[in-house]
Chain A
Amino acid sequence: MSQKLVIDPVTRVEGHGKVTVHLDDQNKVKDAFFHIVEFRGFERFIQGHPYWEAPVLVQRLCGICPVSHHLAAGKAIDQIVGLDPGDLSLPAQKIRKLLHFGQVFQSHALHFFYLASPDLLFGFDADPVKRNVVGVAMDYPALAKKGILMRKFGQEIIKMVAGKRIHGISTTPGGVHKKITVKERNRFLDGKELPSIDTMIEWSVEILDFMKEYHKKNSAFLDGFADYPSGHLGLVKKENGFLELYDGNLRATDAKGNITLDDIPDVDYAKHFYEGVEKWSYLKFPYLKHIGREHGWNRVGPLARVNICNGIETPLAEKERIEFKLAGGDINNKTMHTHWARLIEILYCAEMMKNLLEDDDIISNDLVRKGTRRSEGVGIIEAPRGTLIHHYEVDDKDRITRCNLIVSTTHNNEAMNRAVRWVAQNEISGQPKVTEAMMNQIEVAIRAYDPCLSCATHALGQMPLDISIIDQYGNILDERLRN
């Protein structure tokens, strides 16, 4: 008899998702889906609000990455008031970048230490009661303490710039509204109250050393698990194609590294992308128009960014990027290497924060510029999880008439579905019994993308994920629900 396997909720992800695996009467996988079951409608209810409210409203999409939405919306609203990113004052640009690097740093630390490390440290088949951050804290307290303080450092940067760790406010149309004082800045340099930025760099290098050592011992798993071809998309620096998180051109490659989107201005994104839909998920499926739905989808996030960039401007992260390329190839399609790439970005963010904290422009009073009003604005940044697009149109009464958000996790929708199918086909298909470890492998594959399902569906409330096995008649034969 055929079966359906259900994982509900998927855990250690940001949001509520569900996995179903359909088996035939030989226990062979027929198909597998990653369903996103939240719905929110943010793009709709923001219509009619004055444009200057957008950066404050849209950050309520999420409690994990509100800064990313705040900044992407802020960049779009700058254009409504007539300013492109380079038109802002240098201090405003640098303060926004400092905020952004603080956000990516804390978000990546949260993901690696809190969500991903339990799988690496304890294994797929460890008791779920132990396989979580509390277990990590108990068995690896030194590692946990560093993870906590790295996350705290990024959060304190956010608090300094935006006033609060979650849902603070920094951007104003044409700049930022608050300067940074010398005393506030020095707190991150002197190491008295918090470990200093130099310590953050040192710890970032240490955790990369841990990952490289882990790779040496577990290369078969890290290299082979959920390795499948995909496109890769992200921003790169306009001048040299290097890694860029705040403002750049959009570049995409196919699975072999051939350019499929050639450094286009980010504001032209709509000319190149469509968003597909499926009946079984609220999450859309973006793809490149000229390639089509079947092959035009891309991964986004740390792995994609490290894949597509020509280099990294900070020396320690660049050294790590080169080692990463040597280990994984020029274009790397190995899902589990996303964790490694994420750690390279942690180091990059730490180095960039040091540069900015030591730059006196961030304590300047030159914070806001003015321009000539426009009716449309597009803000694209690289959020922790990948390319984040905010697009607004406004009428002559300053009201938002149209809002389009393409969130990082939405770009990764097809990639996560492929990851689920990979695990179903390679680890579950044909097995006489579905074990806890097999089920967790599905979650491990999804978790590598650090999906933020609340953002992606723009949802509210509890955020669990579920997995179910369904037979050929539609009966649920096995199910995992977590609440």
Chain B
Amino acid sequence: MKDYETKILLLGIGNSGRSDDGLGWAFLDAMQDKLTSEFDLEYRYQLQIEDAELISNYDVVYFIDAHLDQFAQGYHLEPCLPLRTESFSTHQLDPRTVVYLCESIYNKRPETFTLGISGVAFDLNIGISAQAKSNLSNALNFFENSILELTINK
């Protein structure tokens, strides 16, 4: 029996009413029945300052969002390093700024990653494009076969 259960958060960002912008949420929808007790899911339209408090309660955090870049495999995973960014609105924070605030205010530094999934259509519409569905499928396969597998067998 494990002494300590790693707490992992999957934080899906987007809006299912804007076509492929719903990729982050669709990823969570697809994963929710496959996850073990270490994982929690949260859905967000956009990141705000209180999300710094949220991620401070986890060991590992994945920010999952649609991406405008067209990645070769349809998705891209990279570490999310703390960075203070500036934008006209603090209602919509960059994941790196959320990590930066978590570290600065709460003195916590979870392992953080960004999983970007390539989207191609972002107009007002419910439903993900065929291309984005394929990218989502690739991202799910990758996550299940590597990250999830690793976590379960750890």
Contacts and interface: CB of A to CB of B under 8 A. Distances in A.
A134 B90 contact: yes
Given A63-B45, A137-B49, A144 B105 contact: yes
Contacts, number: 49
Interface residues of B, number: 18
A114 B92 CA distance: 12
A148 interface: yes
A138 B53 contact: no
B101 interface: yes
Contacts of A141: 104-105
A9 B88 CA distance: 9
Interface string B19-54: 000000000000000000000000001000110110
B118 interface: no
Contacts of A483: 88
Nearest to A132: B90
Nearest to A166: B45
A152 interface: yes
A453 interface: no
Contacts of A133: 49, 90
B89 interface: yes
Contacts of B104: 137-138, 141
A1 interface: no
B84 interface: yes
Q: Which residue, of B90, B97, B104, B124, has the highest number of chain A Cβ atoms within 10 A? A: B90
A11 interface: yes
Interface string B81-98: 000101011110100010
A134 B104 CA distance: 10
Interface string A24-54: 0000000000000000000000000000000
Contacts of B50: 148, 151-152, 155
Interface string B107-142: 000000000000000001000000000000000000
A129 B49 contact: no
A166 to B, nearest CB: 7
B7 to A, nearest CB: 14
B89 A129 contact: no
Contacts of A134: 49, 84, 90, 93, 97, 101
A373 interface: no
A13 to B, nearest CB: 10
A133 B93 CA distance: 11
Contacts of B106: 145
A357 interface: no
Contacts of A138: 104
Nearest to A128: B86
Interface string A458-483: 00101110000000000000000011
B89 A463 contact: yes
B22 to A, nearest CB: 14
Contacts of B124: 460
A211 interface: no
Contacts of B105: 137, 141, 144-145
Interface of B: 45, 49-50, 52-53, 84, 86, 88-91, 93, 97, 101, 104-106, 124
17 contacts: A11-B89, A12-B89, A12-B90, A63-B45, A114-B90, A129-B86, A133-B49, A134-B49, A134-B101, A137-B49, A137-B52, A137-B101, A137-B104, A148-B50, A149-B53, A155-B50, A462-B89
Lowest 3 CB-CB distances: which A-B pairs, in order? A482-B88, A148-B50, A133-B90
Given A137-B52, A464-B89, 9 more contacts: A12-B89, A63-B45, A129-B86, A137-B49, A144-B49, A145-B53, A148-B49, A151-B50, A155-B50
